[in-house]
Amino acid sequence: MTPAAYLDQHASDLVALLQTLVRRPTVNPPGQNYGEITEHLAQELRDLGLTVRRLAIPHAVQRRVQPTQLDYPRYNVVGCWDAGAAKTVHLNAHYDVVPVSGQWKHGDAFSGAVDKGWVYGRGTADMKGAIASILFALRALRSTGVTPRCNVEVSFTADEETDSVLGAEWLVRHGKLRADYAIVGEGGERDHVCCGHNGVLWFNVTIHGKAAHGSTPQDGINALEKMAELVLGLRHYKKVLSRRKFRAPDGRVLSPTINLGGVFASGEGGKINTVPALATFSIDRRVLATENHAEAERELRAAVKAAAAAIPQCRITLEKVSENFSCYTDPESPFFRAVQESVTRVRRRRAGLTVATGFNDMHFFAQHLKIPTLGYGPSGVNFHAVDERARVTDLVQSAKIYVDLLTTFAG
């Protein structure tokens, strides 16, 4: 039997495995059941004959990074199938899921209910479905006695839904990985292989005015009015960004963007009869896959400072809240061509390359390990929403694509 035929025959086992994973809620924050699920995943990999390391994040490290979540220890799992090959392909998926809300079709958000060819539940699409596809690809190879043409390294990581600091980031820094190429099981799906994604810079801008009684506004400096001027002053920078174009491999033309003020705040003592002494707004700067992150940050800081300097008595502070790096690998990489060919063969439709506007864990592998990294995995619907689900045929197809790649690509 071929591995592909094995996958067709064992689709119900793949679904059962996904259900087992979904029924262990690994909601993050705070990071529930990480211990249990990583034990389970490590055992799955051991049963497949892989050499497995279940890496616990040292308590002291977690205390520094997540002082409020010490009751929820962090783990990452790494498995290796040494096929005696020269090169190693790494397959990664995160096992944490976002919190749930709302009324689900099958009652429980962690039901794993199967309905008309779809598996329902938090994590089915994002991204326990990919975990199931990866494990089943390996199971199909083992069960049919087929050896991959490259070594296979697998990781299941924590915390992607928050910041990945103790997940993929920790793993690429401390996990002693041997990967030469990496596939993160999300970002690309169906006919699209993802060769890069945007990055992000999040800032808070605080304007420092001077409080005064509302009946004598001339005695104060109104931080809200300064903020309004500053926001308008940033229109020029918006225009500058919109003129910068990047043509993605799929033909879309993308520009960097800023979104101002998803968050607004005033300081303590914000009252209708008081001149506001503080005003804060946020800036969400999306960094193109091909932009230099540090350069983008310098430019943003300079633009905000210049806009503030043009306004009398506008004193500001800029605080970086969070950031995520972009990544982009040359689409001409032979690894990308091989994956595109595998997708095309299995789906019988020409696959193309794409760049994701959101971000995922790809950049840790691309930036830190400096290896060709792409995103591809099963598709799904209602990510982070009610009735999140994955289609069984897509899960099987992704497993077949991984199998096809691992049996044709030698590096």
Q: What residues from 80 to 139 belong to the interface with Zn ion (CB under 5 A)?
A: 126-127
Supply the minimum distance, in Å, between the C-beta of residue 184 and Zn ion. 9
Q: What string marks each residue from 346 to 385 as x (binds Zn ion by CB under 5 A) or -? A: ----------------------------------------
- Taking the least distance from each CB to Zn ion, the nearer of 274 and 357 is 357
Q: First and final CA of the chain: distance in angstroms?
A: 26
User: Is residue 211 at the binding interface for Zn ion, with CB under 5 A as the rule?
Assistant: no
Local structure of 138: helix, strand or coil:
helix
Supply the minimum distance, in Å, between the C-beta of residue 93 and Zn ion. 8
CB count within 10 Å of CB 220 equals 17
DSSP conformational letter for 285: E
Tokens matching residue 54: 């279940």
Supply the minimum distance, in Å, between the C-beta of residue 187 and Zn ion. 9
Q: What residues from 284 to 343 belong to the interface with Zn ion (CB under 5 A)?
A: none
- Taking the least distance from each CB to Zn ion, the nearer of 44 and 126 is 126
Among the listed ranges 48-56, 185-193, 284-292, 329-337, the one in contact with Zn ion (CB under 5 A) is 185-193
Number of residues that bind Zn ion (CB under 5 A): 3
- Taking the least distance from each CB to Zn ion, the nearer of 129 and 256 is 129
Tokens matching residue 101: 């809300």
- Taking the least distance from each CB to Zn ion, the nearer of 126 and 404 is 126
Contact call for residues 190 and 340 (beta carbons, < 8 A): no
CB count within 10 Å of CB 258 equals 18
Among the listed ranges 18-26, 181-189, 313-321, 372-380, the one in contact with Zn ion (CB under 5 A) is 181-189
Contact call for residues 254 and 246 (beta carbons, < 8 A): yes
Task: Find, among 73, 60, 71, 18, the residue nearest to 41 by Cα.
Answer: 18
DSSP conformational letter for 97: B
- Taking the least distance from each CB to Zn ion, the nearer of 279 and 327 is 327
Supply the minimum distance, in Å, between the C-beta of residue 6 and Zn ion. 27
Supply the minimum distance, in Å, between the C-beta of residue 37 and Zn ion. 15
- Taking the least distance from each CB to Zn ion, the nearer of 186 and 404 is 186
Question: H/E/C letters for each residue in 205-272?
Answer: EEEECECCECCCHHHCECHHHHHHHHHHHCHHHHHHHHCCCEECCCCCEECCEEEEEEEEEECCCCCC
Q: List residues near Zn ion by CB under 5 A.
A: 126-127, 186
